[in-house]
Structure 1
């Protein structure tokens, strides 16, 4: 990480001349603007930078699909909010010499935080747990698929029939990664140079699939790192003339996940999840798990926000399909992993396109729900959950309806955010329903 004093010295020395001011949006992307480094120091740090409110209401096509009672661009004339840089998030961009990036918080012109901004959504959940004397820590595990074609070539090919960067699945493989070695080596080294703390990296199950795991940290910092990493990975891939995607299900092979590892410490930094329970768990952890199970169906939209996400959450796809937990059970939605001080919850529902801020906010909200209501914990599962276990939503439409009616979400996240996310999901579902797919043409063009 770059400190503010270091940045000023680098600007004075001519080593940095641009600052990227970036805002995490409702899709988990970083949007923003490039600023002269001198202008950033002289003006933006003190005054912030104006940006259109529609940035927190759009889909990936930049169409307004998620207006809320707080932000309604059509109704208010597409006015500005203020992007306030969080100087604790300053990072160099090794693949873009002379440039640093800083994340921003969105504020209304009067100074009040924009409540639907994902960083603020997660911050509120962290603050709520602080009221219980708890500090949430998180690690974010993101998988992606790498293809030999560039993004431009992939678009020209209709995003289909691309060439994976390995000929077979490469789960834990030490050979067969040669065609992606240059890219993944740059990803590992340059993200570390940007301030991320790398733990491990390896090939994954599907052809061209890879995973890089960074060190856990406090929840907001972990989400910041994940959002930064997804942007970095795509920029570096583009420089290598290749394409990578985090989409949950590109083809019939294993999908891309965004597993979340979450633990709680007390205010002195001591872990509080271990205890003398049958799996080494504390009563607090049992209530935390019970909250996840109680809220999982109605909060699924936070973990699976797109049509594509539900093609990963299907039987046989090595992803959860039902509401269940188990000790060291990768077939359950919630896995208890580690022991002693490392004991933690692994939430296995989110796919690679989940917004890390909103997904973590959902986990923390459910944890708090379990703690505050002293919920009992159902029995764990060994192996595959029973067929009669409650099912996760099977589609984006079902998940949107469940979130829309969730009292827990509306009380804990706010009506503005819930309504915005539901509106965005329903707009995507409607657009998907009106789209004729390659699968339909293949089945029906000639044979029916």
Structure 2
């Protein structure tokens, strides 16, 4: 297989770098349910002598814990009654890269299998792979790009923790959307992020300011969907590590405060067996605006399944605080041509024609969101769904169906979805339904600052 680009490492290159002492640490990583990289750091020689050929293992609770790593009930594949056994990490050598912000360090990302070599069905990377295989059966390849926003603070992570995440100092004190002065104020960090990520194999485009105080976005060139998801997971982990090295912190929470939330708009298109465009058809009538019938059906499917898959686009309690009228985050399910008030925005022409899913926030697991979009699009194609009329003007003011209003509502729709179960399988749907139930139970048991402020004296 060719390397993803000339800054990735082949298996032979990694071996040579270890043997000459240029790499002394190799990270083996997989992506968990929450979208985080988890794994081990190996001494490079041990990796070369043992792990490179045989892989490594990790406890199966890594796909059955909450965000705090607490063991929880409800996962048939893992639990005290099953003894918390191992999963095996299977190296995907296409992912080998330098970790440019860490000295003499490389990383490989992994798929997960059970000791009998059967796939771990609930693994996010495996879920996306299966939807990509469905596309491949039609002769199509998915290309995607993720636009990921974060909020940067002057406080270190340790200081933020000590302050209970209150009273933090944002890196900018006003709206710096597209402001060159605003990005220049934090350029030492942004520059290191751009250059380090590029050196680690990501195709970095640009950095720009956003609306919330201290909010920024770094953009990357689109790529095949699995490559984009792998890079997305790496980027989130690397960005936090680099911020920590600067004595700062950043968050990918969907909604940190009352101001604008942080989004992860996902752009997606399909190509044919020889890379030909399948989302365009200049011969169609003018009303189609150059779109192919296939494109229309794909978008229709994503819209028709938007509620079914909202749990995978908005996986946390906090995700739903972002959906607010007039916020540039959607509240209704519809599409428009270059219309940022819509859940789905169609942009570009010819080779650049693509759909933008504006539902996901920065807390999304990219593998699950891309899998959901592909499953939805295939549903539209296989069911020959017609594309509804586009929204002209303000989508917030339409009477279209609403995005599920909270995690509980999204969980219930997902759990009951025939489409989700047919596309993803019962095991996946039940697994991530339980993940939502765990979060809802934890949140329901918590006493919040809001409750104390309202009730301590006055109730």
TM-score by length of 2: 0.95
Instruction: Please say which of residues 411-420 and 348-357 is displaced more in the overlay.
Output: 411-420
User: CA separation in 1, counterparts of 2:290 and 2:277?
Assistant: 13
Aligned pair in 2 of structure 1 residues 398, 65: CA closer, same or farther (>3 Å)? farther
Give the C-alpha shift of residue 439 in structure 1. 1.8
After TM superposition, give the deviation of residue 5 of structure 1 in Å: 1.0
Residues 1:203 and 2:209 are matched in the alignment:
yes
Q: Which residue of 2 aligns with 1:447?
A: 458
2:404 paired residue number: 393
SS in structure 2 of the partner of residue 41 of structure 1: helix
- The match for 1:403 among 414, 434, 440 is 414
Name the counterpart of 2:35. 28
Whether 1:48 aligns to 2:55 is yes
- Matched residue, 1:343: 353
Equivalent residues of 1:65, 1:423 under 8 A apart: no
How many angstroms does 1:168 deviate by?
A: 0.3
> Which aligned pairs between 1:269-280 and structure 2 lie closer than 5 A?
269-275=275-281, 276-277=284-285, 278=287, 279-280=289-290
Which stretch shifts more, 247-256 or 425-434?
425-434
Alignment-derived partner of residue 97 in structure 1: 103
The CA deviation at 1:243 is 0.5
Three-state SS of the structure 2 residue aligned to 1:169 is coil
Q: Does 1:120 align with 2:100?
A: no
Counterpart for residue 10 of structure 1: 17
User: Is the contact made by 2:66 and 2:438 (CA closer than 8 Å) also made in structure 1?
Assistant: no
Cα-to-partner distance string for 1:363-406 (whole Å, 9 max, x where unaligned): 00001000101011110101222432101100000000000001
Structure-2 residue corresponding to 1:79: 85
What 5-or-longer segments of structure 2 have no aligned partner?
1-7
Q: How far did residue 293 of structure 1 move?
A: 1.1
Deviation of residue 446 (structure 1)?
Answer: 2.4
Q: Which runs of 4+ in 1 moved over 6 A?
A: none
* Residue 367 (structure 1) aligned with residue 377 (structure 2): yes
Q: What is the correspondence of 1:417-428 to structure 2 with a 5 Å cutoff?
A: 417-428=428-439
3-state DSSP class of the match of 1:89? strand
* 2-structure distance, mates of 1:77, 1:426: 23
Measure, in 2, the Cα distance between the counterparts of 1:97 and 1:45. Answer: 20
Task: Give the superposed CA RMSD.
Answer: 1.2
Cα offset, 1:81, TM superposition: 1.1
Paired positions, count: 447
Distance in 2 separating the partners of 1:74 and 1:387: 49
Q: Distance in 1 between matches of 2:403 and 2:70?
A: 29
Equivalent position of 1:429 in the other structure? 440
1:66: how far off? Answer: 7.2
- Residue 59 of structure 1 corresponds to 66
On the 8 A contact 1:136/1:264 being kept in 2, the answer is yes
Secondary structure of 1:442's counterpart equals helix
Whether the 8 Å CA contact 1:304–1:351 is kept in 2: the answer is yes
**Which consecutive residues of structure 1, in runs of 5 or more, have no partner in the other structure?**
none
Summarize the alignment of residues 295-314 of structure 1 with structure 2, pairs less than 5 Å apart: 295-314=305-324
Moved more, 188-197 or 72-81: 72-81
- Inter-partner Cα distance in structure 2 for 1:437 and 1:184: 34
Matches within 5 A, 1:157-196: 157-196=163-202
Provide, for residues 236-284 of structure 1, a one-character-per-residue CA deviation record: whole Å limited to 9, x for no partner. Answer: 0010000100000000111110110000000101121012352221100
TM-score calculated relative to the size of structure 1:
0.98
Distance 1:205 1:66, change over 3 A: farther
1:89 deviates by: 0.3
Q: Equivalents in 1 of 2:348, 2:449: separation in Å?
A: 44
Measure how far apart 1:444 and its partner are: 2.3
> Are the counterparts in 2 of residues 287 and 375 from structure 1 also a CA contact under 8 Å?
yes
Looking at structure 2, the residues matched to 295 and 169 of structure 1 have their Cα atoms a distance apart, in angstroms, of 35
SS in 2 for 1:86: strand
Cα deviation, residue 64, structure 1: 3.2
Alpha-carbon distance in 2 for matches of 1:245, 1:409: 30
State the Cα deviation string for residues 223-242 of structure 1 (Å, max 9, x = none): 00000000000000010000
For residues 418-442 of structure 1, give each alpha carbon's deviation from its aligned partner in whole angstroms, at most 9, with x where no partner exists. Answer: 1111111111112112212112222
SS in 1 for 2:363: coil
